[in-house]
Amino acid sequence: MSTSVYIIILPLMGALWWFFHLRSKERRSKLPPGPAGLPIIGNLHMLGELPHRDITKLSQIYGPIMYLRLGSVPTIVISSPPLIEQVLKTHDTVFASRPKTQASKFLSYDNKAIVFKEYGPYWRSVKKFCTSQLLSTTKIESTSWQRKEELGLMVESLRGAAAAREVVNVSEKLARLIEDMTCRMLFGKSRDERFDMSKVIPELACLNGLFNVADYLPILGPLDLQGLGRRFKVAFKTIDNILETIINDHEEDARNSNVKLNRDFVDVLLSLQNDTFPGFEQLSKSIDQSNVKALILDMLMGALDTSHNSIDWILSELVRNPRVMKILQAEIESVLVHNFNWELPDGSSHAEMDMSETFGLTMPRAKHLCATPCVRLP
Ligand code: HEM
Ligand SMILES: *[C@@H]1O[C@H](CO)[C@@H](O)[C@H](O)[C@H]1NC(C)=O
Ligand SMILES: *[C@@H]1O[C@H](CO)[C@@H](O)[C@H](O)[C@H]1NC(C)=O
């Protein structure tokens, strides 16, 4: 947290000290163990730039179920596989709703889609619909040619870089590849200069993942200490315009009865308002344009940073561990035609690779992975 935040918080602490002090005593007895907190801010001061690391350290002291108070938000941290299974599987429905944050209200069309919608009939229906229309095995298989095409383009460009001995910004390339694949599945197009998402999606992911004081100390919300209000507005306006353009294009196609061989996700969502989808009659009635936008945004946000950051980390670890890379290359040799070795720029050794991370929803690499591809001859 920045120092300006502390400067505001510290005077408030004194004034409200007695209030929390009196109330916390009787409550504590029923809660799991955890570190003692300060008035008002609770345990917030124990979390630094990488809160997940700090929480891990604390849980090693206080055990697999731990209580923290983050500002005014009581928080239980679980960190053992059996407990996690209890929460995410056994008692899934109890914990299915996510806490709403300032970012979620601002950036998710007032929580109208899946990720931030509270558990209930609408959520169940819309999740089932998306799973069957976008994420089912048949759907995924029937669109695999599109992803293969995009992958082919990337392999071609890597071959070009290998021939020219050029350093490739691998992180950036991966992000583009995932974006192109996802956009093709969602809106049937991989690139369109009218909607460049390469800046706004990372910004949205950042805004959704960053530590917002207003979520933990709502009384400070109106002060907008971190200046997030403006960033929320700008990012929301940008993505809203993009989504509107995409929807208008698809509506135009529907009006002109353009026959599409491959109906994309937006086509399907829009036709939900007209066609009958057995089992989704109720959903048809409750969907309007803002729900459609919210759902597309959920899928974009769900798919992009998660996928490309996972691959980014996996590839970085492989480049850093040549022994493991060799094993993998041997395994995939029989099924893959294209296969690259990666050299780090300026002759730096794989052992010196910077593997630091930045905090966020999907924990991206702090430094982009840059390396020169070398074609491996079979
Ligand atoms: C490697 C890639 C991915 C990772 C690591 C990942 C990770 C996650 C995690 C950890 C959750 C939360 C689960 C929970 O709270 O129970 C989640 C939820 C979700 N993911 Fe993914 N995801 C990935 C890819 C995708 C893709 C490709 C899509 C969509 C096309 C997607 C859409 C969603 C949605 C809509 C949710 C919310 C579901 C709900 O609220 O029940 N994700 N993902
Ligand atoms: C790699 O690409 C990212 C995203 O476009 C950019 O921010 C970064 O500066 C690039 N890194 C290098 C070393 O070119
Ligand atoms: C839905 O029906 C309306 C009215 O018949 C029509 O104008 C619109 O294009 C249809 N939309 C889709 C996506 O089929």
Which ligand has an atom closest to residue 295 CA? Answer: 1
Cα–ligand 2 centroid distance for 370 (angstroms): 9
Helix axes 121-130, 289-320, angle to 10 degrees: 60
Across the strands, what pairs with 65?
78
d(CA 30, CA 58): 19
Ligand nearest to the CA of 88: 1
Q: Is the CB of 143 under 6 A from ligand 1?
A: no
Residue 1 is predicted with a pLDDT of 46
| Beta strands at 168-169 and 73-78: parallel, antiparallel or unpaired | unpaired
Averaged pLDDT score across all residues of the chain? 88
189-198, 227-236, 306-315: which has the minimum mean pLDDT?
Answer: 189-198
Per-residue pLDDT tens for 94-151? Answer: 999 988 899 988 888 888 888 889 999 999 999 999 999 889 999 999 999 999 999 9
Query: 321, 313 in Cβ contact below 8 A?
Result: no
Measuring from atom 8 of ligand 2, which residue has the nearest CA?
368
Ligand 3 contacts CB of residue 271 (under 6 A): yes
309-338: per-residue pLDDT in tens?
999 999 999 999 999 999 999 888 888 777
pLDDT band at 24 (very low <50, low <70, confident <90, very high): low
| pLDDT given for residue 376 in this prediction | 84
Q: Is 115 in the pocket of ligand 1 (CB under 6 A)?
A: yes
Q: Which residue has the higher pLDDT, 10 or 243?
A: 243
- Distance separating alpha carbons of residues 326 and 347, to the nearest angstrom: 20
Contacting residues for 161 by C-beta, under 8 A, at least 6 apart: 167, 168, 372, 373
In the block, tokens 């992180």 appear at: 171
Could you tell me if the CB of 314 is within 6 A of ligand 1?
no
Q: If you average pLDDT over residues 253-278, what whole number do you get?
A: 84
Q: What is the pLDDT of residue 12?
A: 46
Q: Is the pLDDT reported for residue 216 higher than 90?
A: yes
Q: pLDDT > 70: what percent of the chain? A: 92
Question: Which residue's C-alpha comes closest to atom 3 of ligand 2?
Answer: 172
